[in-house]
Amino acid sequence: MRNIIVASTSTVHGSGYLKYIIDELASFFKDTEEILFIPYARPGGITHDEYTNVARKAFEKIGKTIHGVHEFENPVETIKNAKGIFTGGGNTFLLVSQLYKHEVMQPLREAILDGTNYLGTSAGSNICGLSMQTTNDMPIIYPPSFKTLGVIPFNINPHYLDPIEGNTHMGETRETRIKEFHKFNTLPVVGIREGSWIRVKGDKAILEGKHTARIFEHDKKPYELSTGSEIIFS
C-alpha cells in the first residue's frame, strides 16, 4: 500500500528546514528509526554530504537517523532494504539524471508501491508524478528521460505561485506555463502552495496543510481544492 507525503517545499519562509511539517513526519516515520536520504538534487550545488547533514540535523529533532544513499556501494539494494526514504528538493533535472545514472528509478518506484514510506519535497515531489515536465527548474543537465516514478496518477507543480495583482512583471505565470504544458499533454497537474502537502495512503490522495491547491485538467478551467479534500479527477 502506498504511503507517501508529497510536499511543496522543505522550508517555508521564516522557518527552519522541515520545521513546518516535522510533527507530521514524526508520526509518518514512527515505525522506523533510520531513513534513507537521496541528496541527488543538490540545491545550490552543495555536495551530497553537505545536503545529507542538513537533513540529518532536522530528523535528529524527532529521534531519527539519516543515511545518504551515496554512502553505500550498492544504491539499488540499499533502496530495496530501506524502511523509509526521503528525497530532498533542488534541481529536478539533476535529480532525475542521477536516478537514471545510478539505475535506481525503477527500484525506487517498486519500493514505494510495495509500501515503503516515502517523503518528497520540491524536486523529490516532482518525481512522484508521471513525468517531471511541470517542474519549475532550469535544465542544467539533460536526463535520459522525463519519465519519473509515476506513483501518483498526476503531475506536480511545487512552490505554486499565484499572479500578483498589479505586478508589472511580463514573464509567464505558473498558470500560463501549465496551460502551455496542456497544449501538448493531457496529464492533470496539481499546483501545491508553500506549506501544504499531499498525503497519499493506498488509493487516496488528500491535500493537507495551510493552503488550497490549484488543480489543472486538460481542456478545463483551473480550480481550487480545499485542504482536507481528496484529489479526484473527473
**pLDDT per residue as tens digits for the range 97-144:** 999 999 999 999 999 999 999 999 999 999 999 999 999 999 999 999
Residue 10 a catalytic site member:
no
b/e burial code for range 49-83 (CB count within 10 A of at least 16 → b): eebbbbbbebbeeeebebbbbbeeeebeebbeebe
Four-CA torsion 200, 92, 158, 178, nearest 10 degrees:
-110
Confidence at residue 170, expressed as pLDDT on a 0 to 100 scale: 57
2: closest CA among 156, 126, 116?
116
- Cross-strand pairs, 204: 201
Segments in the chain below pLDDT 70: 166-171, 234
Residue 8 a catalytic site member:
no
Domain spans in the chain, listed from the N-terminal domain onward: 3-159+192-211
Confidence at residue 203, expressed as pLDDT on a 0 to 100 scale: 94
Q: What is this structure's pTM?
A: 0.96
> Three cell numbers at 99?
536516478
Confidence at residue 172, expressed as pLDDT on a 0 to 100 scale: 82
- The domain 3-159+192-211 is classified under which CATH number: 3.40.50.2300, 3.40.50.880, 3.40.50.150, 3.50.50.100? 3.40.50.880
Catalytic residue among 8, 10, 97, 122: 122
Catalytic residue among 48, 67, 159, 218: 159
Confidence at residue 171, expressed as pLDDT on a 0 to 100 scale: 66
State how far the alpha carbon of 140 is from the alpha carbons of 4, 70, 93, 96, 129, in Å: 28, 21, 7, 12, 20
For helices 92-101 and 105-113, the axis angle rounded to 10 degrees is 100
Beta-strand ranges (E) seen in 110-212 are: 117-121, 155-157, 189-192, 196-201, 204-209
Only one residue has cell 540499499, namely 78
Confidence at residue 162, expressed as pLDDT on a 0 to 100 scale: 85
Residue 137 a catalytic site member:
yes
Catalytic residue among 10, 125, 137, 196: 137
Other CB atoms within 10 Å distance of the CB of residue 166? 5
